[in-house]
Chains A and B, each alone.
Chain A
Amino acid sequence: MRARIPFALSALTAGLLTAGQAAANDPIELTMYYPVAVGGALTDVVDNLVEEFESEHPDIDVEAIYAGNYDDTRVRAMSAMEAGDTPQLSVMFSIDLYELLEQNAIVAFDDLVESDEEREWLDSFYPGLMENGQLDGKTYGIPFQRSTIVLFWNKDAFEAAGLDPETPPKNWEQMAEMAATVRDASDGEQWGVMVPSTGYPYWMFQAFAFQNGHRLMSEDGTEVYFDDPAAVEALEYWVSLATEHEAMPDDTIEWGTLRQNFLEESTAMMWHTTGNLSAVRSEADFDFGVAMLPMKTQRGSPTGGGNFYIFEDTSEEEKRAAMTFIRWMTAPERAAAWSIETGYMGVSPAAYETEALRDYVEDFAPAAVARDQLEHSTAELSTYQGGRVRRALDNAVQAALTGQMTPEEALSQAQQEADSVLRRYAR
């Protein structure tokens, strides 16, 4: 109910009486694509939320379409757009911003908010989560399924290796040591640490680089700094976990099966998105903990995950309905429920103040790690021609990890590739 008043109000103030009438008769139909990139039955969670919304808002019909991973979702939404069948809104990769803007596909929320209440809502999110959704002072993406990378560790394995099960590594050195200790103590049965290097290798690499005090791209998405010595050092450390410390398997580590590896106790630590938290919690039959990623010169993780976007090619009343839906989905209670179900972050401070999430965090401390890490976070790698630029970095990371190139060679090649792709965009 609460969310419907601004809708009625704004419809009136805009003089769009027709919109109000239409809403009274036919429900407004909204189509939304959304991705899932972690385990668990997230599609069920989304479907239930949508159903709940529809029962509260009989004047709006939302068709939520699960479209695969983040890349698939971008492809699907873009192709629907090209076919003239534009969705009104979608949850898409927060870093799709530049590509969507370049295609003139999305609208700024600043141009949609009308009441003070809505403006307040727009300011209610963690600033760290807004970074990827903003350009030139305008907001295009509203945080929804957002995450950071966290360190999961197996307390039983730590104990068995003679480590303090309650103390996760604080810095790079400790992580390498602890991982090697586990590896030795298990007689080669268990790996010390796994950092996934398929799926989203650039994302993991960003964490290493940022922990070493280095940001990989410019604010405006037209330049990248892959071959900086700090970045090279970061990649060298990642590679050394396998080669020097022998605590991580050689070659690439599959993003998708990593959680299974952790659950099967074939590794004592893993870096993974916090979006996996609830799935790990429900399936692990050992004691585990979640910590912020270790630091080199500073703590750090990129944010990640999906934002809500509203598309350009939609009618005024559909935009209003989409706003209503997005506000409902990101309201503190829903954000709290979503966070509890999945492990994704509560997107606003208010979410963590709800009774549900407060109780949950009290009972299950790992649920707050992602939030606490937010103050050390950086925006996810996002540039023009993002697909190619990220692929260049992904390839560099994989080339270094598989020993095809040294980290320095790999990163300077990625830099060259990215430079040539971005040449046209230099401002």
Chain B
Amino acid sequence: MTLNAHRKMQLYGALLLLPAALLLTTFAYLPTVTTVINSLFLPGFRGEPAEFVGVENYQVLFDDPTFWQVARNNLIYALGTIPTSIALALGMALFVNGKLPGRGFVRMAYFTPTILPMIAAANIWMFFYAPQIGLFNSLLDSLGIPGVNWLGDPSVALSSVIVMSVWKEAGFFMIFYLAALQSIPPELKEAADLEGTSRWSFFWRVTFPLLMPTTLFVLINALINSVRVVDHLFILTKGGPNNATNLLLYYVYENAFSFFDRTTAATITVVILIVLAVVATLKFTILDRRTHYQ
């Protein structure tokens, strides 16, 4: 290949990349940069120009107890959804991978919530959670147990939201475990049976370690979702009562579009971006050591 032809190839490749590059710049890189910039400025009051204030917006944010509450909520939300949905997903995959009457139906049942919009799922769960007249309390009532205000009691509300998210997510993670389980050579199991290894110890000593990459992969996805998906809050609680179920991205939405405070919204967004950067680093360093991009 001549140098000239090489140049031509380079140019050609660059042209092919151009549409994607333009779009990514417009909707990913540029807004990331402007978000960071906006978080360093205070907009002018009554028409005055914006003023550079350095990290003051961050100081204000970190002094705001609501922000810490929302951040804590999000942490609890992540801790509540991730291990549970991973454990359930693994359990589901083991169920469905074995000999099970009606396996097709069971697998479908587990997976179906995945393809529903979060908004629709929230609508349905709203009927379950409504106090007095909702399904859960009607059932409890018929057993003579006093009802719970699932979404109105701040000590319960976040858990209610978590339960719904687990329901929505577990089936999605299941399919990755299922695929991983099916790739485990059956000889391993045969050998273990031969040695008389119990199923329990086979699982912990063989299956689980072999599933580790899948677990890490699912973990990363679950982490991202715990930051990204807040659709259900719009229906279930609007972040209430008294911010008991507010999550970071919903708080961004509120600040930007209910309070018209784009500065605070930008500042919180930067915090979210930092969290995501940590997750990304986690993925690229730990998870992808095995995978090759080249």
Q: Do A and B bind each other?
A: yes
A residues in contact (CB < 8 Å) with B:
71, 75, 78-79, 99, 102, 191, 197-198, 249-254, 257, 260-261, 264, 266-267, 385, 387-388, 391, 394-395, 398-399, 401-402, 404, 424
* Besides the known contacts A402-B242, A404-B242, 15 further A-B residue pairs in the complex with CB atoms under 8 A apart: A75-B257, A75-B258, A102-B46, A191-B132, A251-B154, A251-B241, A252-B152, A257-B130, A264-B133, A267-B132, A391-B259, A398-B240, A399-B241, A401-B241, A404-B154
Contact with A along B120-158 (1 / 0, CB 8 A): 000000000011110000000000000001011110000
Interface class of chain B by DSSP = loop
Q: Of A191, A251, A399, which contacts B152 at CB under 8 A?
A: A251
Nearest first, the 5 A-B pairs at minimum CB distance are A252-B152, A398-B242, A398-B241, A251-B149, A251-B152
A198 lies within 8 A of B242 (CB): no
Assembled-state Cα–Cα distance A252/B45 (Å)? 36
The total of chain B residues at the interface (CB under 8 A) is: 22
Among A251, A260, A404, the one with the most B-chain Cβ atoms within 10 Å of its Cβ is A251
Q: A251-B152, A266-B133 are in contact. Are A395 and B259 (CB under 8 A)?
A: no
Query: Considering only CB atoms, which chain A residue lies closest to B66 in the complex?
Result: A395
Assembled-state Cα–Cα distance A260/B127 (Å)? 12
A395 lies within 8 A of B149 (CB): no
B153 lies within 8 A of A251 (CB): yes
Query: Considering only CB atoms, which chain A residue lies closest to B151 in the complex?
Result: A254
A71 lies within 8 A of B153 (CB): no
By a CB distance below 8 angstroms, the chain A residues around B154 are: 251, 398, 402, 404
B260 lies within 8 A of A99 (CB): yes
Q: A99-B260, A402-B241 are in contact. Are A254 and B152 (CB under 8 A)?
A: yes
By a CB distance below 8 angstroms, the chain A residues around B151 are: 254
Q: Of A99, A249, A394, which contacts B131 at CB under 8 A?
A: A249
By a CB distance below 8 angstroms, the chain B residues around A264 are: 132-133
Q: A75-B257, A249-B149 are in contact. Are A266 and B240 (CB under 8 A)?
A: no
15 residue pairs A–B, Cβ–Cβ below 8 Å: A79-B257, A249-B131, A249-B132, A249-B149, A251-B131, A251-B149, A251-B153, A254-B131, A257-B131, A261-B133, A266-B133, A388-B259, A394-B242, A395-B243, A402-B152
B258 lies within 8 A of A387 (CB): yes
Query: Considering only CB atoms, which chain A residue lies closest to B264 in the complex?
Result: A388
By a CB distance below 8 angstroms, the chain A residues around B130 are: 254, 257, 260
State whether the Cβ of B238 lies closer than 8 Å to any Cβ in chain A: yes
Minimum Cβ distance to chain A for residue B83 (Å): 27
Assembled-state Cα–Cα distance A424/B43 (Å)? 13
Query: Considering only CB atoms, which chain B residue lies closest to A199 in the complex?
Result: B238
Query: Considering only CB atoms, which chain A residue lies closest to B150 in the complex?
Result: A251
Among A75, A391, A398, A402, the one with the most B-chain Cβ atoms within 10 Å of its Cβ is A402
A198 lies within 8 A of B132 (CB): no
A197 lies within 8 A of B45 (CB): no
A78 lies within 8 A of B149 (CB): no
Assembled-state Cα–Cα distance A254/B241 (Å)? 10
Q: From residue 205 to 250 of chain B, which have CB atoms closer than 8 A to chain A?
A: 238, 240-244
By a CB distance below 8 angstroms, the chain B residues around A79 are: 257
Assembled-state Cα–Cα distance A299/B256 (Å)? 38
By a CB distance below 8 angstroms, the chain B residues around A254 are: 130-131, 151-152
Query: Considering only CB atoms, which chain B residue lies closest to A250 in the complex?
Result: B149
By a CB distance below 8 angstroms, the chain A residues around B131 are: 249, 251, 253-254, 257
Assembled-state Cα–Cα distance A265/B131 (Å)? 13
Assembled-state Cα–Cα distance A385/B244 (Å)? 23
By a CB distance below 8 angstroms, the chain A residues around B153 are: 250-252, 402
Query: Considering only CB atoms, which chain A residue lies closest to B126 in the complex?
Result: A257
